[in-house]
Amino acid sequence: MQNCQEIAAGLYYLGGNDRRIALFESAYPVPRGVSYNSYLLKDEKNVLFDTVDNAVGDVFFENLAYALGSETLDYIVVHHMEPDHSATFARLAERYPGVTVVTSQKAAAMLKNYFGFAGRVQIVKEGDTLSVGRRTLSFVGAPMVHWPEVIFTYIPEDGILFSADAFGTFGALQGGVFADREVFGREYLDDARRYYCNIVGKYGVQVQNVLKKAAGLNISLVCPLHGPVWKGEDFSWYLEKYLTWSAYAPEEKSVAVFYASVYGHTQNAAEIVASAVAAQGVRVRVFDVSVTDRSELVAEAFRASHLVFASSTYNNGIFVSMEEFLADLKAHNFQNRAYAVVENGSWAPQAGALMDGILSQLRQMRRIGEKVTVLSAVNEESRSALISLGRSIAEDVKA
């Protein structure tokens, strides 16, 4: 049965929630589920903004049929071709054969590649407009946020922005469609950070470019493809988060300690550093990289200002879970942090120099202190060096 909601005059939310999916994009755990959003604008012409993942296809088509009533669908604007939004496109084209697809040149090519689509397509680019009655659709290029074909649509008469994946989040909707800033900060922000950093995080420059465009718009409503819809007054708070994340600036002055430990001695070293930091009244979080999902590790690295990497030496290299984490940070264009390195090795400690080699290749990284070497287990000498490192990090955070 349909469950669509009118979220503004003539604008309907048609999406649905998937709470059974284990891994979003076959990569990211989503224990709180995810929503796939689609919107219908009813004016002299009826315009659908994106379709949905197959997981919620049935309710989406019921919603669309209900919202249209006896009217027809004139346009579908395709903002983004990733299949979590386009998987039901072929079914849509079959049901509404008269529909005109409005999209970017690159998305049109993808429609052919994914679906062999040969229907009516109107190509739009940055600055193009399309009148649909009382409202105008104004198109904004958003390449590499986070695919190359992405566009946004802005309705100047109502101040409504359709922002594709931008401003989305993991986490299913809880009945209501609108974001409540307090609830979002408490129940969604960690998921939103994890979503942004892992999915879009590599493309900070492109996100900054599109945020500059958005800053010039009068916005009353932001409609992303995942998560709640934002009203203007709360949106500025969320926009600040995006400005921070996309600039690779720390979200807060705090320390994240990441350790990869085989038998517990490297963990012991990491905990000693963390305790020395906390003793100075500085917020610190500690993560075992072998058991924490990497998407969470990446998000925590984006959050904190100061990072500690502690790893056992393994096969003459970095312990595998730490090596994979560092590779992921590099792949996400991670940069602009203070960091420290701790290594452990029973006969030939190597992990510290190798981690430092990777981290120093990232942009604007600043190492605090010398690496601390633990030989098998922490002793009085290395304990003292670890405490000293923790204090130096805390002082730097407070500086």
Binding site for ligand FEO (CB under 6 A): 80, 82, 84-85, 146, 165, 225-226
The single-letter DSSP state of residue 178 is: B
Dihedral sign (CA 297, 196, 235, 304): positive
Q: Are 267 and 261 in contact (CB under 8 A)?
A: yes
Rg (CA), the chain: 24
φ, ψ of residue 285 to 5 degrees: the values are -125, 145
Shortest gap between Cβ of 202 and ligand FEO (angstroms)? 12
HSE-CB of 154 using CA atoms within 13 angstroms: 20
Nearer to ligand FEO, 196 or 258 (CB): 196
Shortest gap between Cβ of 271 and ligand FEO (angstroms)? 38
Nearest CA to 270 out of 253, 254, 255 is that of 255
Shortest gap between Cβ of 151 and ligand FEO (angstroms)? 13
Nearest CA to 127 out of 106, 108, 104, 107 is that of 104
Shortest gap between Cβ of 333 and ligand FEO (angstroms)? 17
Shortest gap between Cβ of 22 and ligand FEO (angstroms)? 17
Q: Are 40 and 46 in contact (CB under 8 A)?
A: yes
- Cis check: omega of the bond before 306, within 30 degrees of 0: no
Distance from C-alpha of 308 to C-alpha of 389, rounded to nearest angstrom: 10
Shortest gap between Cβ of 86 and ligand FEO (angstroms)? 9
